[in-house]
C-alpha cells in the first residue's frame, strides 16, 4: 500500500495525513474484496525495513495501527471476516501485541474472508523463520533431512492457511515488490499502478481484478495446453 507520504505532500500536508487517508482505502478494498467473494486479502502495512523511518512517523503509525484495530475489528467480525497478523510481533509494544491477539481471537471462527495484515514483516524473514523451525525439527529428530522440500517449507511459511497467491498489487508507481511475500509470489500475477494508495478505492481495486481476469496463467505449461484444458 504505497504512496501515502507522496499523496500527503501533493496535498500540502504532512506524511501522517497520508497514512490516515490510506485507512479509507483499506476500508474500501476490504469491503470490495468481501463483496466480490475474494477469500484472502493481505495488506502490507509495515515492513521490517520501515523502522528506519523517522521516529515520529513510526510512532504515529503504531498509534494508527492501534486505533484501526480498536475501531475496525468489530466491523470485520460483523462481516464474518477473520483477521490475522503476519510478521514478527515481538518488537511491538505489549499493549499493541495484546490488541492483536484480541482481534485474532474475536474473529478466529469467521470464514467469509481472511484479512491478513503484514506488519514488521519481510519476505526474507518469512523464509528464514520457516527454515529455522524446520531445522529445529531436524535437530529434535522429528524430521529427516532428506524429507525437507518445498512442500514442507510451505507448511511453515506465513499464509500457509491460504491457497496459492494469485495476484500481487503494488500502488504508488514503483515496479518492485520490496521484500513482500517472496515465497508466496512465485507464480502470482503482478499488477503495478501509478495510483497512490489513498486514491486506490473500489474502482481501482476492481480494475486490478479485471486485469488479472484477462491474463493467461500457464504454470509452466504452454498456452495451447492451458486453453485446451
Given the residues 50, 79, 154, 179, select the one marked as catalytic. 50
Measured CA to CA, the distance from residue 174 to residue 182 in angstroms comes to: 16
Neighbour tally for 85: CB within 10 Å: 23
| 3-class secondary-structure state, position 118 | strand
> Could you tell me if residue 91 is left (phi over 0), alpha (psi between -120 and 50 degrees) or otherwise beta?
alpha
Our answer to whether residue 2 is catalytic in this structure is yes
Question: How far, rounded to the nearest angstrom, does the alpha carbon of residue 76 sit from its chain's CA centroid?
Answer: 16
Our answer to whether residue 50 is catalytic in this structure is yes
Given the residues 2, 120, 126, 158, select the one marked as catalytic. 2
Neighbour tally for 81: CB within 10 Å: 22
| 3-class secondary-structure state, position 80 | coil
Are residues 23 and 45 in contact, defined by beta-carbon separation less than 8 angstroms? no
Active site residues: 2, 50
Amino acid at each position: 500500500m504505497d504512496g501515502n507520504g507522496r499523496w500527503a505532500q501533493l496535498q500540502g500536508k504532512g506524511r501522517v495525513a497520508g497514512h490516515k487517508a490510506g485507512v479509507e482505502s483499506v476500508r474500501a478494498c476490504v469491503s470490495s474484496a468481501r463483496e466480490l467473494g475474494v477469500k484472502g486479502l493481505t495488506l502490507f502495512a509495515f515492513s521490517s525495513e520501515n523502522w528506519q523511518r523517522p521516529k515520529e512517523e513510526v510512532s504515529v503509525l503504531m498509534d494508527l495501527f492501534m486505533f484501526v484495530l480498536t475501531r475496525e475489528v468489530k466491523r470485520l467480525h460483523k462481516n464474518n471476516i477473520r483477521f490475522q497478523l503476519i510478521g514478527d510481533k515481538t518488537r511491538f509494544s505489549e499493549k499493541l501485541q495484546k490488541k492483536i491477539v484480541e482481534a485474532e481471537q474475536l474473529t478466529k471462527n469467521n470464514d467469509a474472508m481472511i484479512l491478513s495484515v503484514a506488519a514488521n514483516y519481510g519476505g526474507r524473514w518469512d523464509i528464514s523463520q520457516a527454515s529455522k523451525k524446520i531445522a529445529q525439527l531436524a535437530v529434535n529428530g522429528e524430521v529427516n533431512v532428506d524429507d525437507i522440500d518445498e512442500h514442507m517449507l510451505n507448511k511453515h511459511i506465513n499464509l500457509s492457511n491460504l491457497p496459492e497467491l494469485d495476484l500481487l498489487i503494488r500502488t504508488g508507481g514503483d515496479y518492485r515488490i520490496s521484500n513482500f511475500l517472496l515465497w508466496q509470489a512465485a507464480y502470482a500475477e503482478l499488477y503495478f499502478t501509478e495510483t497512490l494508495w489513498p486514491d486506490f478505492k473500489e474502482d481501482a481495486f476492481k480494475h486490478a481484478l479485471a486485469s488479472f481476469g484477462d491474463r493467461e496463467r500457464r504454470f509452466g505449461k504452454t498456452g495451447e495446453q492451458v486453453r485446451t484444458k
